[in-house]
Structures are given as structure tokens and as C-alpha cells.
């Protein structure tokens, strides 16, 4: 379904904007022009006034970015707000949120209402608009399992389109917005379907240990959220304390034969059987390759969570890339496994 949006609203725009505080790795960079549209109309106006030949970037809270140099052209940071109940039946609620909403505000609001679904995704940094881009996931739950539809605006035509969840080509940390349609659409909002009766997923280790002995009816989303927050705070460095972009590499998936061969060589290999092969814990591979807590100049792999690359201060993107390459090379040499970087490189 498509509809046209008349350009009637205005928007704020900053020339030569400093992006250092707008990426959680704290890398120094500037945007030639940074615009923050607050409505669909304003976004459509920004696009209409833009020279189509100039580069266009979209950023959220910069928690999954490696900004390698200044961004030419126009950078958009959506400030489209709002969370609402769209409809409900006896068992489900449908909720909508604007792309500019802070993700964890949406989780907190739905859990406060007693609606179940988002609790495992508590405290993931970033915006609602970025969440479908890489199909955020944590503790056994992915956004794709709850997503009813994604609303997008085409960057060329400014047409608004709604994609049903099953049209978004979601995969592990991937979607059509990150892969084949990259740069074509701006995500402006999402709609989720959540449960009225709790059916919390506590299959993941730390949640199983805490809630595994309880019956489903006794596991409340608010309690799961509280525990997820406590576990995350104990394991992951907060970016405002130690700059980082979360997991720096995806967990690699190898064939069953390759996984079995690795298990024979490394008895304590951390691996999970998947329909398409065996998923290896990238953090374990990095730790075994000797990088946990190790530094290379101003950057390093975190001392508690080897998967998280941290900026100890004044790092440049060249420092980040040099460390990422060194880690990849050592994991490749020791295990014969290629790591894939999770954060997006800009420009
Ligand atoms: C401490 C920490 C923990 C984390 N834990 C997790 C985790 O458990 N699970 C997980 O999945 N991720 C995790 N992340 C990664 C990150 O939080 C998510 O990827 C998040 O969705 C990024 O949101 P953002 O607003 O910061 O996006 P940005 O980093 O600003 O952008 C990321 C990408 O999304 C694109 N994008 C952003 N907004 C839009 C839009 N409106 N339309 C189209 N494209 C857009 C950008 O162009 C860019 O390519 C973590 C990060 C940190 C720092």
C-alpha cells in the first residue's frame, strides 16, 4: 500500500555538525548538513529540497556505527516521535512507534502496560527506526518475531510504503533494509503485535537459571525485563562510561561438518546448532585467540566481554579498523573461521 505525503512542514538543519557525541564509539567526525525532521511531512520536505546527486546518510543514536571520515552531503537523524496502542483483541495488542523513539522507552512502556514480547530486548541502545535495519535481537528473541509492519519512505519519490514483517527479509542481524534495499528507504515507524497473556521466552542461559523453575503464568514481563537489565549491566560496558558499539562481530555460522571438526579440535567450543549449520560464539573465538582485555593503541577488546571493541580515549576509525583486522586475522589463523563485522561503516 502506498500513499503520497504533501511537503508542508519545516525541519531543523545544522551545517558542519559535530557527530562525535552522536556515535557511541566516540569517533571524531562532522556532517556537512544534519537535518532532524520531526514528522513525515518534514522528512518529505527535506528530501524534496535535497540535490539528488548529493550523498544521503541516515543515523539513529549511532550505537552501531563506525564513522570513518566526515560525512558529505545530507545526514538525516529522524526525530519522529510517538508510541500508541493501535488496536487490540482478546489475546493481542498492536502498538505503533515512530522511528525517533528511543528503543528502550518503547520496551519500558509496553512492559509497564503488562504487554509481553519486548522484555528480552530491554536496554538495547538506539532508536526504533534502526531496530528493523539489523533485526535487533538478544536473549533468544529477535524483533522479526514481533514485527507486524515497517513504514518506510522512498528516498527518491518520498512515497510512504508499509512492509509486512514477512516482506522485510529478516535474518540474523539482517533485513532487506540492510542488504538489497540499502539506501533506498528511510524507516519512519514500526507496528508490533504483543501478547496480553505472558508467554516469556526464558530459554537463554541466564534467564533459564532465574526463571526456568516457574510456570509460564508466573513469569512476568516486568521481572524478565529487570533481570535482562541486570545481566546486561553486569556484562556490557555502558557507552557513556567506556565508548563502544556493542558486539563488534556477528556470531559466524559454519557448516555442520566444519562445526563438528572444530568441536573435535576444541572440546570447549561454544556452538549452537541452527537449521542452516552451527553458530559459533564469536566472543569465545576472540577470547581463545588471545584478544580478551588486550589493547592495540587507544582501542581494545573489552576485559569482561571479548566481543565488544572499546575506545579507551581519542581513538580514530583507523585505530578501530586496525584492531578489527588484527582480531579477524588471528581468529582466521587459529580456527579457520572468518569473522564478519556487525557495525556499519560510514560513509
Ligand atoms: C552497549 C551496546 C549493546 C548493544 N546490544 C545489542 C544487542 O543486544 N542486540 C542488537 O541487535 N544490537 C545491539 N547493539 C547494537 C545497536 O544498539 C543496534 O544495532 C541499534 O538498533 C542501533 O540503533 P541506532 O539508532 O544507534 O542506529 P545507528 O547506529 O545510528 O545506525 C545503524 C544503521 O541503521 C541505519 N538506520 C538508522 N536509522 C534508520 C532509519 N530510520 N531508516 C533506515 N536506516 C536507519 C543507519 O543508516 C545505520 O546503517 C548494541 C550496541 C551497544 C553500544
Pick from 32, 50, 77: which residue ends a domain?
Answer: 77
Q: What value does the mean pLDDT take over residues 91-105? A: 98
C-alpha closest to that of 46 among 18, 16, 73, 82: 73
Q: Rounded to an integer, what distance in angstroms lies between the CA atom of residue 208 and that of residue 231? A: 12
CATH code, 316: 3.90.78.10
pLDDT at 98 over 90: yes
Is residue 318 located within the same domain as residue 337? Answer: yes
**What are the φ and ψ backbone dihedral angles of 197, each rounded to 5 degrees?**
-100, 130
pLDDT at 2 over 60: no
pLDDT tens-digit series, residues 205-234: 899 999 999 999 999 999 999 999 999 999
CATH code, 14: 3.30.43.10
**2 or 335, which is more confident:** 335
Is residue 104 located within the same domain as residue 223? Answer: yes
pLDDT tens-digit series, residues 115-126: 999 999 999 999
Q: Rounded to an integer, what distance in angstroms lies between the CA atom of residue 291 and that of residue 143? A: 31
CATH code, 166: 3.30.465.10
Residue 11's pLDDT band (boundaries 50, 70, 90)?
confident
Q: What pLDDT was estimated at residue 309?
A: 98
Peptide bond into 103 cis (omega under 30): no
Residues lining ligand 1, Cβ inside 6 A: 24, 58-65, 78, 99, 124-127, 129-131, 133-134, 136-138, 177, 186-187, 236, 239, 244-246, 344
Q: How far is the CA of 117 from the centre of ligand 1 (A)?
A: 19
The three cell numbers locating residue 288: 581463545
Domain that holds residue 45: 2-77
Q: How far is the CA of 319 from the centre of ligand 1 (A)?
A: 21
Is residue 114 located within the same domain as residue 231? Answer: yes
Pick from 77, 93, 126: which residue ends a domain?
Answer: 77
C-alpha closest to that of 100 among 175, 182, 39: 39
Secondary structure (3-state) at 77: strand
pLDDT at 4 over 90: no
Is residue 217 located within the same domain as residue 287? Answer: no
Cα distances (angstroms) measured from residue 178 to each of 43, 136, 143, 292, 342: 20, 12, 15, 29, 11
Is residue 44 located within the same domain as residue 171? Answer: no
Q: What pLDDT was estimated at residue 244?
A: 98
Q: How far is the CA of 166 from the centre of ligand 1 (A)?
A: 21
Pick from 38, 57, 77: which residue ends a domain?
Answer: 77
Furthest-apart CA pair in the chain: how many Å? 64
pLDDT at 136 over 60: yes
Is residue 275 located within the same domain as residue 230? Answer: no
pLDDT tens-digit series, residues 257-294: 999 999 999 999 999 999 889 999 999 999 999 999 99
The ipTM, to two decimals, is 0.99
Residue 346's pLDDT band (boundaries 50, 70, 90)?
very high
Q: Rounded mean pLDDT of the chain?
A: 96
Ligand 1, residues 26, 36, 46, 60: which to mutate, most atoms within 8 A of Cβ?
A: 60
pLDDT at 338 over 80: yes
Q: What value does the mean pLDDT take over residues 120-142? A: 97
Is residue 169 located within the same domain as residue 286? Answer: no
342 is catalytic: yes
Is residue 145 located within the same domain as residue 282? Answer: no
Is residue 90 located within the same domain as residue 195? Answer: yes
Is residue 128 located within the same domain as residue 70? Answer: no
Residue 38's pLDDT band (boundaries 50, 70, 90)?
very high
Q: What pLDDT was estimated at residue 10?
A: 67
Is residue 59 located within the same domain as residue 140? Answer: no
Domain count, the chain: 3
Angle between helices 103-112 and 221-235 (to 10 degrees): 150
pLDDT at 5 over 70: no
pLDDT tens-digit series, residues 230-253: 999 999 999 999 999 999 999 999
Q: What value does the mean pLDDT take over residues 153-172? A: 97
Is residue 227 located within the same domain as residue 296? Answer: no
Percent of the chain with pLDDT over 70: 97
C-alpha closest to that of 40 among 14, 73, 79, 74: 79
- With cell 577488546, the residue in question is 301
pLDDT tens-digit series, residues 68-87: 999 999 999 999 999 999 99
Amino acid at each position: 500500500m502506498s500513499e503520497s505525503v504533501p511537503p508542508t512542514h519545516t525541519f531543523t538543519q545544522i551545517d558542519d555538525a559535530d557527530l562525535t557525541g552522536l556515535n557511541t564509539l566516540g569517533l571524531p567526525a562532522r556532517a556537512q548538513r544534519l537535518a532532524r525532521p520531526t514528522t513525515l511531512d518534514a522528512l518529505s520536505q527535506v528530501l524534496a529540497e535535497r540535490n539528488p546527486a548529493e550523498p544521503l546518510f541516515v543515523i539513529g543514536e549511532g550505537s552501531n556505527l563506525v564513522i570513518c571520515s566526515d560525512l558529505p552531503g545530507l545526514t538525516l537523524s529522524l526525530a519522529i516521535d510517538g508510541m500508541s496502542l493501535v488496536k487490540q483483541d482478546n489475546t493481542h495488542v498492536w502498538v505503533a512507534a515512530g522511528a525517533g523513539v528511543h528503543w528502550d522507552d518503547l520496551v519500558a512502556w509496553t512492559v509497564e502496560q503488562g504487554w509481553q514480547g519486548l522484555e528480552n530486548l530491554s536496554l538495547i541502545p538506539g532508536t526504533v527506526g534502526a531496530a528493523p535495519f539489523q533485526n535487533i535481537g538478544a536473549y533468544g528473541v529477535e524483533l522479526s518475531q514481533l514485527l507486524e509492519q515497517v513504514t518506510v519512505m522512498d528516498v527518491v519519490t518520498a512515497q510512504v510504503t508499509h512492509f509486512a514483517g514477512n516482506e522485510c527479509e529478516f535474518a540474523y542481524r539482517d533485513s532487506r533494509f540492510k542488504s538489497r534495499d540499502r539506501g533506498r528507504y528511510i524507516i519512519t515507524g514500526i507496528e508490533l503485535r504483543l501478547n496480553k497473556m505472558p508467554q516469556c521466552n526464558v530459554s537463554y542461559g541466564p534467564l533459564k537459571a532465574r526463571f526456568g523453575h516457574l510456570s509460564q503464568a508466573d513469569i512476568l514481563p516486568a521481572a524478565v525485563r529487570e533481570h535482562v537489565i541486570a545481566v546486561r549491566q553486569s556484562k556490557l560496558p555502558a557507552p557513556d562510561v567506556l565508548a563502544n558499539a556493542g558486539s563488534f562481530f556477528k556470531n559466524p555460522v559454519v557448516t555442520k561438518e566444519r562445526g563438528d571438526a572444530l568441536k573435535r579440535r576444541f572440546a570447549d567450543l561454544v556452538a549452537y546448532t541452527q537449521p542452516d549449520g552451527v553458530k559459533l560464539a564469536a566472543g569465545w573465538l576472540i577470547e581463545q585467540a588471545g584478544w580478551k582485555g588486550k589493547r592495540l593503541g587507544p582501542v581494545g577488546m573489552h576485559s569482561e566481554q571479548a566481543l565488544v571493541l572499546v575506545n579507551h580515549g581519542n581513538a580514530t576509525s583507523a585505530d578501530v579498523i586496525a584492531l578489527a583486522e588484527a582480531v579477524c586475522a588471528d581468529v582466521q589463523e587459529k580456527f579457520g573461521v572468518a569473522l564478519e563485522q556487525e557495525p556499519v561503516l560510514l560513509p
